[in-house]
Structure 1
């Protein structure tokens, strides 16, 4: 429940459109609801502007479905990350309009319209192998009401490919750069544009990549200014932060 919804509820009670008891029923589960295995945060959107997100990894199918079912009763927009197809099938049985981004492993359900700014977010990858993490970022940003331009496979091994897409990247309000291996692309992009860059290291690479650690350290030690770094493979975190910046 967000600020506008609370305002409408109080006005409905005041104007006797709903009874006092109906109003109490609406707010009795604030600020959270205990459903046994999860405390669903009903006040998240009110506090930070974005509703609670379901992280599916480590949860059973039944637990995810239970959380989704409760949130649907509250008419919430729902974003579930790290969801496999088994979880999606179960959610789809519950809600026929649930959408699934297979590459990003993201489930989305829309119940409320979100204002979309004119500015856009660019999501850029070094290689095709980085697309799953990039799609997690892009799908997250789109869910929260942003236009996203996807620019894939423009890494430093063929730097001329980046220059062919540079005008699009320059016009973005914020840029998410997703790269594995040595992770150099974020520094290169940041050195060419006057926009904030959110760098996402991925676990793509061979032995000395150390599961994304080499890319993470490269990005943290970037010589280019204006680079912030999220955790390895954390496309969601990048998409969330990019949305916040795009809506400033």
Structure 2
């Protein structure tokens, strides 16, 4: 542990933000910090290039507070997904530097800036009802330094809306398509653009949409090439994967110039 990290840790102990037991565990870091209710991965950044992200659903506000406080010592950017407004209010009372993005249901803290990527990611939705999942994807991508183009409510029921934005979408290095109901938009976009597409089925829809299963099966069975499908409502996973692809393209461009 670096001197400045140890100093900050001791200050947190003095302010009763971290227990002595938790502090000792961090000093004797074995790659994770055991909080009893959670094991915080302290070297994921070194292994994967991105720090741990906290999945907030199913965790209490107190548990999220404890996990985030432990992560703050690592001086990494913080992302907590699937957090209700009520839970976010409680968490921010303890950690006010966290920003809550209500539409995406995410708590964020950018401790340091991320090197921006020149390539853009387009996030395209079939309907306005898909926006909360799309925003989870968009905000995630932005946290990793990507420029995001939002193209919302261009589903196949009014396909002329999609054609009006087609050149904007084609300019993106990666396209995320978010759709519920029958999930047809991913196949349509897949037949119109050359960029890789990440399809996100959402749980939006009436009875036989089966909470996103119908859209998922449509996307998995798409005859359009170049489509990768993530889990139902997994905006975070789509944003993260799109960022990885976009960064690889950036590295490829830099290597070709060197």
Using structure 1 for the length normalisation, give the TM-score.
Answer: 0.88
SS of 1:131's equivalent?
helix
C-alpha distance after superposition, 1:187-233 (max 9, x if no partner): 11010010000000011111111111111010000010000000111
Contact 1:64 / 1:87 at 8 angstroms: preserved in 2? no
What is the number of residues matched between the two proteins? 232
Residue 74 of structure 1, CA deviation:
2.3
Equivalent residue for 1:93? 93
How far is the alpha carbon of 1:25 from its aligned partner? 9.5
Mapping 1:147-158, distance limit 5 Å: 147-158=147-158
Q: Which runs of 4+ in 1 moved over 4 A?
A: 24-27
Q: CA 1:197–1:149 in structure 2 vs 1: closer, same or farther (change >3 Å)?
A: same
Q: Within 1, Cα distance between the matches of 2:75 and 2:228?
A: 34
Task: Tell me by how many angstroms 1:98 deviates.
Answer: 1.4
Uncovered stretches (5+) of structure 2, i.e. residues with no partner = 11-23, 249-258
CA contact (8 A) 1:44 1:51 kept: yes
TM-fit CA distance, 1:95? 2.7
1:226 and 2:238 matched: no
Partner of 1:36: 36
State how far apart, in whole Å, the 1-side matches of 2:80 and 2:26 are. Answer: 24
Please give the alpha-carbon distance, in whole angstroms, between the structure 2 residues aligned to 1:42 and 1:239: 22
Per mean C-alpha deviation after superposition, the further-off stretch among 37-46 and 81-90 is 81-90
Deviating more after overlay: 77-86 vs 96-105: 96-105
- Is the CA contact (8 Å cut-off) linking 2:82 and 2:106 kept in structure 1? yes
**Residues in 2 aligned to 1:177 and 1:63: alpha-carbon distance in whole angstroms:** 33
> TM-score when scaled to structure 2?
0.85
> Structure 1: where are the runs of 5+ without partners?
1-5, 13-17
State the partner residue of 1:188: 188
